[in-house]
Chain A
Amino acid sequence: MSAQAKKYSGQPLKRIEDPRLIKGIGTYTDDLRLPGLLHVAFVRSPHAHARVTSIDTSVAKAIKGVVAVLTGADVNEKCGVVPCAAAIPDLKLPKHTVLAGDRVYFVGHPVVVVVADDAYAARDGVDAVEVEYDPLPVVVNPEEAIKPGATLTHPDLGTNVAFTHNVNGGTDIDEAFRRADRVIKQRVYHQRLTPMPIEPRAVVASYHAGEGTMSIWSSTQVPHYLRTLLPGMIGVAENKLRIVAPEVGGGFGAKLNVYAEEALCGHLAMRLGAPVKWAESRRENATSTIHGRDQIGYYEVAVKNDGTILGLKARTIADLGSYCQLLTPAVPTLTGLVLTGCYRIPAVKMEIVGVYTHKMATDAYRGAGRPEATYLIERLMDLVAKELGLDRVDLRLKHFPAPTEFPFGTACGVTYDSGNYQGALEKARQLADWKALMSERTAARKSGRLFGVGVSTYVEICAIGPSAAMPAGGWEWGCVRVEISGKVTAITGTSPHGQGQETSFAQIVADQLGVSIEDVVVMHGDTAVAHYGRDTYGSRATVIGGTALVMCTDKIIAKAKIFAAHLLKVAPDQVAFADGQFSAPGAEKTLSLAAIAGEAYVAKNLPPGLEPGLEASSFFEIPNFTFPFGTHIVAVEIDRETGQVAIQKYVAVDDCGPQINPLLVEGQVQGGIAHSIGQALFEQTVYDENGQLLTGEFMDYAMPRATDIPEYILGHTVTPSPTNPLGIKGVGEAGTIGATPAVANAVIDALESLGVTHLDMPLTPERVWRAIHQRTVATV
């Protein structure tokens, strides 16, 4: 890295991408209008499990404007199966065809596809298709599903257990439990959630028969994954396939996938010789786009009476739904990676059982695995403190590794890169005015109010990830080109969809090259432009993608120095670069990067042996994950009569290393906490006992609103990561990881006087009221 003064990095610059979005002139997939565009709609199963006995498409086909009505029999042989990329040994996979075959396995399972001149005719066509179903027994409860004799989700698999994954780490677990003074046990249910990005999915596909090339626009987080995986599904070679992720209105993991609809649209464009578009409705998004979480866990902690934690045992039952989407089975295994949280816990044993049920697949949802782990360990820390009558903050402090102990290896088998957990906790306590808050808590309780304070100290995994830990490469690619005009084009293989890297990457590149940020354009999300990439998920883009760009600028500066030396007639090692100017001792003039770029492309005076042009590309392979951390402190008050929870104070201190753009960091943290408040207090995806989804619209799926979100008091500490030259760690999921347990712990703390030690989320008013009511009745 060059020794540049940092003019932009560290500045809270407003997002370059915002004006077009605020003005409504961004281009989302559904905004695309291609000549002759046809519209796609799906007939989806109303049953969670049924045999399809007959399909009559004749009436639908006769509707004016309907172009094609196709069933599984028409397309499944011609389209490859929906892929699962998780590398889990002995994973049992059902065959996941793009349309249902003779059975349907979840409500929302696509059965028939209708293509028409316009979206209205397509929808009319859907209504006119007659499908006869013979309903079959349904299994929706994963704990029931693993009992002997349970109804089978996929009878041909012979079992509902997709896989069993074991984590055995650190010292001997049995020994730890033998030495324990006490064993504390808790069952915890992590509810199912619907990601609900503001923009549902959408796909446009266009096939050029003459060239044999296909372009697919998709509202996706992973255009490069699609370019790798769709060829096997639709039979178009990778180098004839272009994927574009235009403006993408949020993903949260729901768009980190390869979906049947994406392949089908490609297939239809080829088959019908016309471009096609599918735009998902909100209800389809609720039924047929992946869900998140849904884990039931049984936990046991072995402790000494002084609070020393000796070991942790866990058995987790992960509800996968009926199919494995791209990473479905991998997500629960991520829980095993940070189960010990910020703490020195010498022995860990975890068994994860992945179970099929007649529901939509679960997969990566913001935080993916880490929110589950953090919630568990943070609930357990409170339970241990409570049981042993210890101060919960002291208990946490007691188990933190010292800042000097990093890199810190854990019993879960990962090595935390750097950390100062004590620092973040201390700062959070300062910002929360901890002493005053505790006196307020005491005073409130004396007067009979249900007032609680929750603490969560978390560590998470970002920069996902080193290639060794990934199914297919965890590096990132970037390319920087200084144009003939001196303007700079930076191309990233990541695929921002709300994170703001058009801004933060411009900050990095402008600082590296000493140019004005106005002269830098960041391009992404189009595989014809960003040839390689591993896209955006797992809080990886800035750390890995940003570093790839730094590597490019280093190469450019090195080459530009050779040009400068040639032009200034000095030896290359005499050239210095600072503030965008190349200079040498004794040389008459200095040269700007733009001047050198001009020479590099005009190419009339090239240094001997040097290629023209000023462009470089790089792949960055990160040596380890990064491990951001922090402390969240929440105060809540509960309305005793109604069970309503009101958040009184919210303090978050997050350490994601040096911040490229503090405004973007704050935005990520704020959004993440909002997500968490939603999960802790309101959100839950509900299926009834027949597998009917009852939360199919915003009418019934309770998203947090602006008015539910308190004023945040945000702070940060800065502990650089040794894994990358920028020292950064990533922050895209931190809020969803640190906040959920803090809110839940606060609510449970408020109910402490009633003898409540645990409640499962969401902590809805009725659930809280029942807890209060039963305890009050029982103790009166």
Chain B
Amino acid sequence: MKITTSAAVAAPREHVFSALNDRGVLRRCIPGCEELTDVDEETFAVKLKLGVAGIKGKYAGTATRQDLLPPESFTFALDGKGKTGFVRGTAAVRIETQGEASRIDCEADVQIGGAIAAVGSRLIGAVARKLTRDFFRELADAIGAPPDVSDQNEIDALPDPGRDERLE
């Protein structure tokens, strides 16, 4: 599943870039983060209690930073799992200057499996958006920018019986 997210944060991009690479800030902004520990320079481990409303699960995983290009872009390789499923994939982050503010584009390409994929497919996209929205709201707050996070999100690549590419 591909999840494309964009957000505007009213802060210069150097600021945003370093915040996104600051593990203290990440610990604070990652939704449901209960523990964030360093593995090495590029990799950290997280324990999350994640979900919405009563549908919560505990997940453990790692994020490894790749292709670091300050202050423009980097990629996280993600790998996490819990009792209700797993998530693996990458999230590529680009930051652009837009006047006074910065525009963050995040393109995640993730594989979701287990019970959450089997029974929650209709909600996964929406949950992912909500979590990213929460993340950027916190990020803006951490940077000290106005909390007004405008976002434009897109989810695609769910196979759709109405438009199965195999059939075209």
Contacts and interface: CB of A to CB of B under 8 A. Distances in A.
Chain A complexes with chain B = yes
Interface of A: 46-48, 107, 127, 135, 141, 143, 189, 191, 283, 286-287, 296, 684, 686-690, 692-694, 696-697, 699-700, 760, 762, 764, 766-767, 770
Given A46-B113, A127-B83, A760-B167, A693 B118 contact: yes
A694 B118 contact: yes
B56 interface: no
A700 B160 CA distance: 12
Most chain B CB neighbours (cut-off 10 Å) among A296, A694, A700: A694
Contact of B158 (A107, A296, A688, A760): A688
Contact of A767 (B114, B117, B162, B166): B162
A699 B113 contact: no
Given A46-B85, A287-B118, A700-B121, A692 B163 contact: no
A764 B161 contact: yes
16 contacts: A46-B113, A47-B113, A189-B167, A191-B161, A283-B115, A286-B118, A686-B161, A688-B158, A690-B111, A692-B112, A694-B159, A697-B119, A700-B121, A764-B161, A766-B162, A767-B162
Given A46-B113, A690-B111, A693-B118, 6 more contacts: A107-B113, A688-B158, A688-B159, A692-B118, A697-B118, A700-B119
Max chain B Cβ within 10 angstroms of own Cβ: one of A143, A696, A764:
A696
Nearest to A296: B166
A28 to B, nearest CB: 25
B69 interface: no
A583 B163 CA distance: 73
Contacts of A697: 118-119
Contact of A692 (B117, B122, B157, B160): B117
A674 B164 CA distance: 24
A690 B114 CA distance: 11
A488 to B, nearest CB: 50
Nearest to B167: A760
A694 B166 contact: no
A39 B103 CA distance: 55
B28 interface: no
B105 to A, nearest CB: 23
B65 interface: no
A761 to B, nearest CB: 9
Given A283-B119, A700-B122, A762-B161, A46 B166 contact: no
Given A46-B114, A47-B113, A189-B166, A687 B119 contact: no
Contact of A770 (B119, B158, B163): B163
Contacts, number: 73
Nearest to A687: B159
A455 to B, nearest CB: 24
Nearest to A643: B162
Interface string B39-75: 0000000000000000000000000000000000000
Nearest to A762: B161
B119 A692 contact: no
Nearest to A699: B119
Interface in B134-167: 157-164, 166-167
Contacts of A760: 164, 167
B27 interface: no
Nearest to A187: B167
A748 to B, nearest CB: 14
A286 B117 CA distance: 13
Contacts of A283: 115, 118-119
Given A692-B112, A770-B162, A135 B88 contact: yes
A694 B113 contact: no
Contacts of B117: 46, 688, 692-694
A127 B115 CA distance: 12
B64 to A, nearest CB: 16
Interface string B11-44: 0000000000000000000000000000000000
A286 B122 CA distance: 17
A697 B123 CA distance: 14
B86 interface: yes
B125 to A, nearest CB: 12
B77 to A, nearest CB: 13
A374 B119 CA distance: 34
Among B85, B112, B122, B166, the most chain A Cβ lie within 10 Å of the Cβ of B166
Contacts of A694: 117-118, 121, 158-159
A423 B121 CA distance: 49
B129 to A, nearest CB: 18
A697 B114 CA distance: 13
Q: Residue among B1, B83, B86, B161 with the most chain A CB within 10 A?
A: B161
Contacts of B166: 141, 143, 189, 296
B6 to A, nearest CB: 24
Contacts of A767: 161-163
Contact of A690 (B113, B119, B121, B161): B113
A287 B114 CA distance: 11
Nearest to A128: B83
Contacts of A684: 161
Nearest to B83: A127
B119 A696 contact: yes
Nearest to B157: A689
A644 to B, nearest CB: 13
Contacts of A690: 111, 113
Contacts of A48: 113
Nearest to A684: B161
Most A-side CB within 10 Å, residue of B113, B114, B121, B163 = B113
A46 B86 contact: yes
A143 B158 CA distance: 19
A284 to B, nearest CB: 10
Contacts of B111: 135, 690, 692
Nearest to A135: B88
**Closest CB pairs A-B (n = 5):** A696-B118, A766-B162, A46-B114, A692-B117, A767-B162
A189 B161 CA distance: 12
B57 to A, nearest CB: 11
* Among A191, A688, A766: residue with most chain B CB under 10 A: A688
Contacts of B167: 189, 760
B86 to A, nearest CB: 6
A767 B163 CA distance: 7
A473 to B, nearest CB: 39
Residue from A143, A767, A770 having most chain B Cβ neighbours under 10 A:
A767
A185 to B, nearest CB: 16
Interface string B94-115: 0000000000000000011111
Contacts of A286: 118
Which interface residue of B112, B159, B162, B164 has the most chain A CB atoms within 10 A?
Answer: B162
Contacts of A762: 161
B87 to A, nearest CB: 11
B148 to A, nearest CB: 35
B37 to A, nearest CB: 20
Contacts of A46: 85-86, 113-115, 117
Contacts of B115: 46, 283
A107 B113 CA distance: 9
A652 B17 CA distance: 68
A686 B163 contact: no
A453 B14 CA distance: 66
Contacts of B160: 766
Nearest to A126: B83
B80 to A, nearest CB: 13
A696 B166 CA distance: 21
A606 to B, nearest CB: 67
